[in-house]
Amino acid sequence: MSQTTPPTLTSVGIDIGTTTTQVIVSELTVNRSGIGAVTVDIGETTVVYRGAIHETPLVDRHTLDTDAVRELVESELEAAGYSASAIDSGAVIVTGESSYKENAEELVNHIATHTGEFVVAAAGPELEAVLAGKGSGAAAWATKSHETVLNVDVGGGTTNMCLFSGDDVVETRCLDVGGRLLRFDETGQVTHISEPAERLIEIRGLDIAVGTRPTDTERRRLATAMTELLFDTIEGPPLSSVTDSFTIGSSEYTGKTVDTVVFSGGVGRLISKREETNDESEFAFGDFGVILAAAIRQEIDRRSLRVRHPDEDIRATVVGVGTQTTSFSGATTHIDESLLPLRNLPVVEGSTITADHDYATIVSELQGCFEQGCELYELDETSPFVLSLPSISPLDYGRIKALARALGDVYEQYFTSECPRIVLTRQNCGKALGQQLHSASNANTPLVVVDEVVASDGDYLDIGEALGSGQTVPVVVKSLAFGS
Amino acid sequence: MLSFRADHARARDAVLTKVSEEMIEETGLTSIQSRVTDQDEYLARPDLGRQISDETEARIRDECTLNPDVQILVCDGLSSTAVEKNVPNLLAMLVDGLEERGFEVGTPLFVKFGRVDVMDEIGKTLGATSVVNLIGERPGLHTAESLSAYLVYEPHPDKPTAKKSVISNIHVDGLPAVEAGAQIIDLVERMHDQRGSGIDLD
C-alpha cells in the first residue's frame, strides 16, 4: 500500500540568516507508526557534517546571491564527502529579511535538481520564536512536565518569546530588544546605535550617543530600561505604552500562568552562564549583550522567577528534513483535481474537535489556528496552506456539519473565495467532510480534503496527482528536523 | 475460547434483540413488517423476509411518497445493534445530501424482519427509481455492529443479485457511518447518471 522509506535519510540543512549561512549534513531515522493514518516521526538525528559559518552572500539587502549560495552549498557538500545524488532531502530555512524567500525558492530549484525532497521555510519573527523554543528544549520540557513554559530568546536585534503548554505552541511575542542594538569598540566607545535603541535612549533621556563613551551608570540605565520592556512583555497586559511601541507584530497574550521561563539566544547564554562581569569583558563582544544580560539576571533574582537552563542556547538549527512518502490517502477523498499537484504547503494544525464543541467554539478554535498559522508562515489571504485536523470525536453527522460550516465561515473570513481550502483528516471522513464543506463554501471555491493522513505544525506537504479512479492521492509529509 | 464465547453472545444479542421503538421514532422512520411474523420464522424462512403482504403494499402506497428518485429502507437484518449504532447518523446525512443534489427522497421506511431483497418489492410498489437498503450484517467474530448498504437502480424482484451495488463494513472501526453516507450519495449519483447498478456500472 505504501512506498518504502529508507530507514535512514541523508538530509542537508541550509540555514540562511541575516548575516551568516551554514550547511549541515545529517542522517535522520524516520519512524513510522499506525495503521490507516500513518504517523511519521523523526527518530534519531545525527549530524555527520557541520560546515563552516559563512557570511550570507547578498546581491543587495533584500536579494540573496543565489549563485554564490549554490557554490557554497556545493563546496560544503564536497567537503563533507557527499555527492548531490546521495542527498535524499533537505531544508532551506531563511530567517531575517523575509523578502529573501522568493529568492530562496529559486535557489532550491538550482540545488534540488539532483536531490530529493526539499523544503523552503522562511521564518518570520514568530517562527523564529518557535524554533528558538524547540532548540532550547523549552518545548520538550513543556511536553514532558505538562507545564506552561515561556522561551525568551534574546538575540542581537530582537527578543522572540514563545509560550509552550504541554504539546502546544500557545502564542508568540516579539520585541525590539537585543544585545546588538548598540555596538562598542574595545575601549567602550559607541560605534553604532540601532533605531529602537535610539528611541529608548531618547524616551529615557539618557546620555548615550555614537562617538561617546557613556558612563557605567548610563549604560546600566539603558540596560534596565530594556529589561523593563522585556519583563513587561513576559508578564503580559496591561503593557505600558512604551513597551507597546517596542512590540513587533501582533503579539498575543493569553491568561495562562507561566510556570517556567527559559532564556536562550546569544544574550540568553550570557544570562545562564552567570559569569562575573567586569569592565574589560563588558565589551568583549563589541556590543551591549553582556550589560543587558547582567540587568536581566538581576531582575530574575529580584523576582525569584523560576528559570530553567536551556539545553542549547543558540537557535535551533534546521539540520534537514525527514520526508515520508506516505501511503496514499484514504480511499475516500474530496478533491478538485485541477489543483493537483500541490507542493510545499505549510501545515497548520487544528485542535481536536470533541463532543462538547459546538459551532461557536469550533469557530473560535479555528480562528486561533488560522491567526497563528498566518503569522508563523506569513500567509496572506491568497496563500494556500494545509489545515490538519487531528481528531473529530465522536464522528457523527451533526459534528461534521458544524465543523464544515465553521470551516467555511472562518476560511471566508481570512482568505479569498479563490484560495483553495486544503484539509487533512486523521480519520476516515474525507468524503463526508468534503461534501459538507462544499455546501458550506462558495460554489467556485476549490476544495481538497484528504483523509487518513497525519501532519503537524511545522510540516510541509506535497499532494500528487490522483491515482486510479481519482479517489486516492499520494501524499508526502515533510517534517523539519532540528538539531543543536 | 472466552473471547469466542463473548463474540458468540454478542452475536446472539445482535440477532435476537429488536431495534427499539425509540430509535425508529427519533429517526422519523415509518415502520412496516415483512411477511415474517416472529424471530424464529425470520431465521427459518428467508423467502418470507423478502416479501410484504398485500395490506402492507396498500398501506405504503397510501402513506408514502410515490415515484421518488430514491427510496431509503432500514432493515434490522441479522444485527439490530448495527442499525441502532449507525442508522441515526447515516440516515440524516443521506437524506440531506441527496436532497441537496436535487434528488427527491421517498418516505424512509423501517422494515421489521426484512431481508436484503425486500427492497425490490417495496421499490417496485412505490415506483422508486432507485432503492438504498441499510441492513444489519450477520455478526462476525470481530464486530456485531456492522451495517451494509445495498443499492439498486430500477428495482424489480426478477433482477439478479449481481445488479445490486453494496457498501459494507459500516461501523465505527470500519467505514464510519458519515463517510459511508458520503459514499452512498456519490454512488446514487453515479447510478442515476449511468442508469444502472451493480455490474452495470463502469
* CATH number, residue A44: 3.30.420.40
Partner-chain contact B176 A427, CB within 8 Å: yes
Same domain, A230 and A279: yes
Cα-flanking dihedrals φ and ψ of residue A280, to 5°? -65, -45
Confidence of residue A3 (pLDDT cuts 50, 70, 90): very low
Q: Which residue has the higher pLDDT, B42 or A283?
A: B42
Place of cell 410515490: B66
Assess contact for A318 and A15: CB atoms under 8 A: yes
Is A484 inside a domain boundary? Answer: no
| Euclidean distance between CA atoms A151 and A310, whole angstroms | 9
**pLDDT value for B131:** 98
Cα-flanking dihedrals φ and ψ of residue A29, to 5°? -105, 130
Query: Which ipTM value was assigned to this complex?
Result: 0.85
Q: Which residue has the higher pLDDT, A211 or A7?
A: A211
Partner-chain contact B182 A396, CB within 8 Å: no
**pLDDT value for A89:** 77
| Euclidean distance between CA atoms A314 and A272, whole angstroms | 12
Mutate to test the interface with A, among B103, B179, B186 (most CBs of A within 10 A): B179
Count of structural domains within chain A: 3
In the structure grid, which three cell numbers stand for residue B22, read together? 425509540
Res A197 pLDDT > 80: yes
Count of structural domains within chain B: 1
Nearest to B183 among A332, A398, A427 (CB): A332
pLDDT in tens, B16-25: 667 888 889 8
Assess contact for A196 and A181: CB atoms under 8 A: yes
| Euclidean distance between CA atoms A220 and A294, whole angstroms | 9
Is A316 inside a domain boundary? Answer: no
What SS3 class is residue A120?
Answer: strand
Domain with B28 in it:
2-200
Res A313 pLDDT > 70: no
| Euclidean distance between CA atoms B2 and A475, whole angstroms | 42
Query: Please, which residues have CB within 8 angstroms of residue A60's CB and are 6 or more apart in sequence?
Result: none
Res A483 pLDDT > 60: no
**pLDDT value for A102:** 64
**pLDDT value for A280:** 47
Distance (Å) from the alpha carbon of B181 to chain A's nearest alpha carbon: 7
Q: Does A396 touch chain B (CB under 8 A)?
A: yes
Same domain, A387 and A270: no
Task: Find the mean pLDDT for residues A83-111.
Answer: 69
b/e sequence A408-443, b meaning 16+ C-beta within 10 Å: bbbbbebbeeebbbbbbbbbbbbbbbbbbbbbbbee
Distance (Å) from the alpha carbon of B93 to chain A's nearest alpha carbon: 6
| Euclidean distance between CA atoms A193 and A124, whole angstroms | 23
- Amino acid (1-letter code) at residue A300: I
**pLDDT value for A331:** 58
Using the 8-state DSSP alphabet, how is residue A276 labeled?
A: P
Assess contact for A16 and A94: CB atoms under 8 A: yes
Confidence of residue A474 (pLDDT cuts 50, 70, 90): confident
Is A241 inside a domain boundary? Answer: yes
Task: Find the mean pLDDT for residues A50-78.
Answer: 82
In the structure grid, which three cell numbers stand for residue A234, read together? 513576559
In the structure grid, which three cell numbers stand for residue B81, read together? 445493534
**pLDDT value for A122:** 64
**pLDDT value for A88:** 78
Is A240 inside a domain boundary? Answer: yes
Same domain, A359 and A300: no
Same domain, A149 and A294: yes
Same domain, A220 and A348: no
Res A98 pLDDT > 50: no
> Cβ of A5: how many Cβ atoms within 10 Å?
18
| Euclidean distance between CA atoms B153 and B164, whole angstroms | 8
Least confident of A127-136, A184-193, B161-170: A127-136
Same domain, A148 and A294: yes
Res A322 pLDDT > 70: no
**pLDDT value for A39:** 58
Nearest residue to B167 via CA among B193, B126, B197, B128:
B197
Same domain, A177 and A298: yes
Mean pLDDT of chain A: 81
Percent share of chain A, pLDDT over 70: 80
pLDDT in tens, A116-125: 567 766 666 7
Same domain, A303 and A405: no
Percent share of chain A, pLDDT over 90: 29
Residues in B closer than 8 angstroms to A396, CB to CB, are: 89, 177-178
Question: A 48-107 residues with CB below 8 A of B?
Answer: none
In the structure grid, which three cell numbers stand for residue A95, read together? 530567517
Same domain, A279 and A387: no
Task: Find the mean pLDDT for residues A257-278.
Answer: 78
**pLDDT value for A51:** 84
Using the 8-state DSSP alphabet, how is residue B163 labeled?
A: G
What SS3 class is residue A186?
Answer: coil
Is A196 inside a domain boundary? Answer: yes
Assess contact for A292 and A460: CB atoms under 8 A: no
pLDDT in tens, B111-158: 999 999 999 999 999 999 999 999 998 877 567 789 999 999 999 998
Q: How many CA atoms lie within 13 A of B193 on its CB side?
A: 9
> Cβ of B15: how many Cβ atoms within 10 Å?
20
Same domain, A445 and A304: no
Domain end among A260, A277, A308: A308
Is A459 inside a domain boundary? Answer: no
Same domain, A358 and A392: yes
> Cβ of A153: how many Cβ atoms within 10 Å?
32
Is A280 inside a domain boundary? Answer: yes
Is A266 inside a domain boundary? Answer: yes
CATH number at residue A363: 3.30.70
Domain with A347 in it:
330-452
In the structure grid, which three cell numbers stand for residue B169, read together? 463494513
Res A2 pLDDT > 50: no
Q: Does B183 touch chain A (CB under 8 A)?
A: yes
**pLDDT value for A140:** 85
| Euclidean distance between CA atoms A69 and A53, whole angstroms | 12
Assess contact for A366 and A406: CB atoms under 8 A: yes
Q: Does B97 touch chain A (CB under 8 A)?
A: yes
Q: Establish, for the pair of chains A and B, how many residue pairs have beta carbons separated by less than 8 Å.
A: 46
pLDDT in tens, A144-171: 999 999 999 887 778 989 999 987 888 8
pLDDT in tens, A329-347: 565 577 888 888 888 888 9
CATH number at residue B92: 3.40.50.11240
A469: left (phi over 0), alpha (psi -120 to 50) or beta: alpha
pLDDT in tens, B74-99: 998 888 888 998 999 999 999 999 99
Nearest to B179 among A398, A428, A439 (CB): A428
Most confident of the ranges A177-191, B102-116, B132-146 = B102-116
Q: Does A430 touch chain B (CB under 8 A)?
A: yes
Same domain, A266 and A235: yes
